[in-house]
Amino acid sequence: SDTCYLVVNDEEKVDWEWLRNQPTEDESEYIRHVKLDSPVEVRVDAKEGKSVIIKKVQKGHERNNI
């Protein structure tokens, strides 16, 4: 399957401000579906239980992790 679920704990870093500023496609009590203007790259190592989401920024700028 190509579906993976990511769980974030208190020790992990998430760019919550960036996520909050993305346009909302749909929202319910527990889930907010955002629509991104640019693609993101998702890398998952299921064996190690590690993942990273890399947001692509405007041309000429470095990539940033979410």
DSSP 61: S
In whole numbers, what is the pLDDT of the chain averaged over residues?
84
Where is pLDDT greater, at 4 or 11?
A: 4
The alpha helices in the chain, defined as continuous H runs, are 16-20
CB burial string 24-47: b at 16+ within 10 A, e below: eeeeeeeeeeeeeeeeeeeeeeee
Quick: pLDDT tens for 32-62: 999 998 899 999 998 998 899 998 876 655 5
Q: How far apart are CA 10 and CA 31, in angstroms?
A: 19
Give the predicted TM-score (pTM) of the model.
Answer: 0.63
